[in-house]
């Protein structure tokens, strides 16, 4: 038998040995306990030549450079990132079997049409929320393992949202409804964002933060408990996505206060684009008013429109609160929130 000749690793560094992460009581092995030894050392800037090796591995110096464009800890990290990854796995559910689809009963045609119209619109937004983090994730250096795994969980969540809204639209005598070009323009202006920080700010904080309010409202006005459950379970997932956005933008702002300017400009640029190119989808406005008013009679729609106006106010208040939580001054928070929802009623 020929001997395997190992390379001389004298100058590579010394691998860890004797690491033993504890098993938690009933909780298995948890990422929160894995910040040990070399694997636990998260670099402020990821060196290009470590390729796809796991943080803490001893890497051959002849490894080709990968040069992941997002390679700074301050840009992606969050103090609670390990918690977020573990929560993401606990929060997984199955759109095929965790919704009591067999309890769905026929609805009056106007309400079913409104639900189907909303689902059609939700799916557009969910595709954006799937594609954008999928794009961003491929740019993040694997040294930031927990961030990569969190974004992967978000992609999985959004795939489930596409599934659940599609199934709801097809399940109860209706079907997929109209798509407005205005919505597509608005979502395109997000999908074409290239900078990790601006994209994440617009998506995780302004977009999904506002979307959560919409989901809460839809749960309240849903015409039946099964449809309400669809909105409720979707919103629980969105809470984690917004949680990552808030934690990591706060972390980034703490390390780089000048970021306020970049984020404000990102919100301004998108608002300018929306004012010029997009508007609110009339189909969605109508469907929201029908659901909120409980039907399509003129007085019901009028009542529904009043409730939707209240929703916009709540969305603004929540955005401001969240921006302050991230680290913005109140005046700037008001300004950015108005940019997002002001000229064009904008959910994502």
Query: Under the rule (CB under 5 A), what is the footprint of Fe ion?
Result: 126, 129, 158, 161, 208, 238, 241
CA distance 62 to 239: 43
Identity of the residue, 68 or 211, whose beta carbon is nearer to Fe ion in the bound complex: 211
CA distance 128 to 328: 26
Least Å from the CB of residue 211 to Fe ion = 7
Identity of the residue, 136 or 332, whose beta carbon is nearer to Fe ion in the bound complex: 136
Least Å from the CB of residue 207 to Fe ion = 8
Least Å from the CB of residue 160 to Fe ion = 8
Identity of the residue, 162 or 266, whose beta carbon is nearer to Fe ion in the bound complex: 162
CA distance 169 to 326: 36
Task: Using DSSP, state whether 72 is helix, strand or coil.
Answer: strand
Which letter does DSSP use for residue 211 in this model?
H
Which letter does DSSP use for residue 214 in this model?
H
Q: Is 342 exposed, middle or buried (0-12, 13-18, 19+ CB in 10 A)?
A: middle
Closest listed residue to residue 290, CA positions, set 215, 216, 218:
218
Q: Are 234 and 119 in contact (CB under 8 A)?
A: no
Give how far Cα 289 sits from Cα of 118, 282, 286, 294, Å: 11, 11, 5, 8
Least Å from the CB of residue 130 to Fe ion = 8
Identity of the residue, 133 or 345, whose beta carbon is nearer to Fe ion in the bound complex: 133
Least Å from the CB of residue 272 to Fe ion = 25
Identity of the residue, 46 or 315, whose beta carbon is nearer to Fe ion in the bound complex: 315
- CA dihedral in degrees (177, 179, 183, 189; nearest 10)? 130
Least Å from the CB of residue 311 to Fe ion = 18
Identity of the residue, 68 or 231, whose beta carbon is nearer to Fe ion in the bound complex: 231
Least Å from the CB of residue 157 to Fe ion = 6
Closest listed residue to residue 223, CA positions, set 303, 299, 116, 121:
116
Question: Phi and psi dihedrals of 264, rounded to 5?
Answer: -65, -40
Identity of the residue, 328 or 347, whose beta carbon is nearer to Fe ion in the bound complex: 347
Q: Are 36 and 21 in contact (CB under 8 A)?
A: yes
């Amino acid at each position: 038998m020929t001997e395997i000749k190992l390379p001389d690793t004298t100058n590579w560094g010394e691998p860890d040995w004797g690491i033993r992460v504890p098993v938690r009581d009933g909780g298995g092995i948890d990422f929160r306990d894995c910040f040990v030894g070399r694997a636990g050392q998260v670099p402020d800037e990821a060196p290009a030549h470590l390729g796809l090796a796991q943080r803490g591995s001893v890497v051959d110096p002849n490894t080709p450079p990968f040069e992941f464009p997002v390679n700074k800890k301050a840009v992606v990290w969050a103090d609670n990132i390990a918690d977020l990854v573990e929560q993401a796995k606990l929060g997984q559910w199955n759109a095929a079997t965790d919704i009591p689809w067999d309890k769905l009963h026929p609805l009056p045609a106007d309400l079913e049409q409104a639900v189907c119209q909303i689902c059609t619109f939700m799916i557009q937004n969910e595709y954006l929320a799937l594609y954008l983090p999928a794009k961003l994730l491929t740019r993040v250096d694997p040294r930031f393992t927990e961030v990569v795994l969190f974004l992967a969980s978000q992609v999985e969540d959004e795939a489930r949202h596409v599934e659940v809204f599609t199934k709801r639209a097809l399940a109860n005598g209706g079907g997929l409804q109209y798509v407005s070009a205005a919505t597509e323009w608005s979502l395109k202006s997000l999908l074409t964002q290239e900078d990790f920080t601006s994209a994440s700010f617009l998506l995780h904080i302004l977009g999904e933060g506002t979307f959560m309010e919409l989901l809460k409202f839809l749960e309240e006005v849903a015409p039946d408990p099964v449809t309400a459950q669809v909105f409720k379970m979707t919103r629980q997932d969105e809470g984690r996505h917004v949680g990552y956005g808030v934690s990591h933008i706060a972390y980034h702002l703490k390390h780089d206060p000048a970021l306020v300017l970049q984020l404000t400009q990102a919100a301004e640029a998108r608002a300018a684009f929306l004012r010029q190119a997009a508007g609110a989808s009339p189909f969605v406005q109508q469907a929201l008013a029908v659901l909120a008013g409980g039907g399509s009679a003129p007085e019901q729609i009028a009542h529904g429109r009043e409730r939707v106006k209240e929703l916009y106010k709540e969305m603004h208040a929540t955005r401001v609160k969240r921006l302050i939580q991230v680290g913005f001054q109140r005046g700037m928070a008001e300004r950015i929130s108005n940019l997002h929802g002001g000229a064009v009623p904008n959910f994502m």
